[in-house]
Chain A
Amino acid sequence: MKYLYFPGCSLKNYAKRYEETAVAVAKALGIELIELKRWNCCGAVSGLAEDSVFHHIAAVRDLVRAQEQLDEADSNKLVTVCSMCYRVLASVNNRLKHNPEDLDTINEFMSPEEYNGGIEVVHLLQIIKDDIGFDRIAELTKKDLSNIKVAPYYGCVLVRPKETAIDDPNEPTILEELIKSTGATAVENPLRTECCGSYNVVTNRELVKHRILNLLKPIMRENIDFLISVCPLCTFNLEFGIKANKKELHGREIPVLYFTEFLALAFGLDDKLEKEVLQAVNI
Chain B
Amino acid sequence: MTAQKTVKKLKVKMVSIYIMGKEYKVPEGLTIHKAMEYAGYKLVRGVGCRAGFCGACATVYRFKDDYRLYTGLACQTTVKDGMYLVILPFVPAKKPGYDIEKLKADFSSIVKLFPEVTRCVQCNTCTKVCPQEIQVMDAIQMILRGDIKSAAELSFDCIACGICSLRCPAEIIHYNLFQLVRRLNGKYLTPKSQHLVQRLKEIEEGKFDKELEKLVKMGPEKWKELYAQRVIE
CB contact under 8 A between A46 and B138, given known A12-B145, A13-B145: no
Partner of A40, one of B107, B122, B147: B122
* Complex contacts, B120 vs chain A, CB 8 Å: 41
How many of chain B's residues have a CB under 8 angstroms from any CB in A?
Answer: 14
CB contact under 8 A between A13 and B122, given known A40-B137, A40-B138: no
Partner of A12, one of B124, B137, B146: B146
Which partner residue on chain B sits nearest A112 by CB separation? B128
Q: In the bound complex, do residue A41 and residue B122 qualify as a contact, i.e. CB atoms below 8 Å apart?
A: yes
Closest-CB distance, A89 to chain B (whole angstroms): 13
Partner of A9, one of B123, B124, B138, B145: B145
Closest-CB distance, A47 to chain B (whole angstroms): 9
Q: Mask for A5-47, Cβ within 8 A of B = 1, else 0?
A: 0000100110000000000000000000000001111010010
16 contacts between A and B (CB under 8 A): A9-B145, A12-B145, A12-B146, A12-B147, A13-B107, A13-B146, A38-B135, A38-B138, A40-B138, A40-B141, A41-B144, A43-B122, A57-B122, A57-B124, A58-B121, A61-B122
User: Complex formed: what's the CA distance from A59 to B144 in Å?
Assistant: 16
Partner of A41, one of B107, B135, B141: B141
* Complex contacts, A57 vs chain B, CB 8 Å: 121-124
Partner of B144, one of A9, A38, A113: A9
User: Complex formed: what's the CA distance from A206 to B107 in Å?
Assistant: 27
* Interface size class of chain A, counting residues whose CB lies under 8 Å from the partner chain: 10 to 19
Which partner residue on chain A sits nearest B122 by CB separation? A58
Q: Mask for B129-147, Cβ within 8 A of A = 1, else 0?
A: 0000001011001001111
* Complex contacts, B144 vs chain A, CB 8 Å: 9, 41
Interface residue ranges of A127-177 to B (CB < 8 Å): none
User: Complex formed: what's the CA distance from A133 to B120 in Å?
Assistant: 40
Which partner residue on chain B sits nearest A11 by CB separation? B145
Q: Mask for A49-72, Cβ within 8 A of B = 1, else 0?
A: 000000001100100000000000
Per CB-CB distance, the 4 closest pairs between chain A and chain B, nearest first, are A58-B122, A40-B141, A12-B145, A9-B145
Which partner residue on chain B sits nearest A14 by CB separation? B146
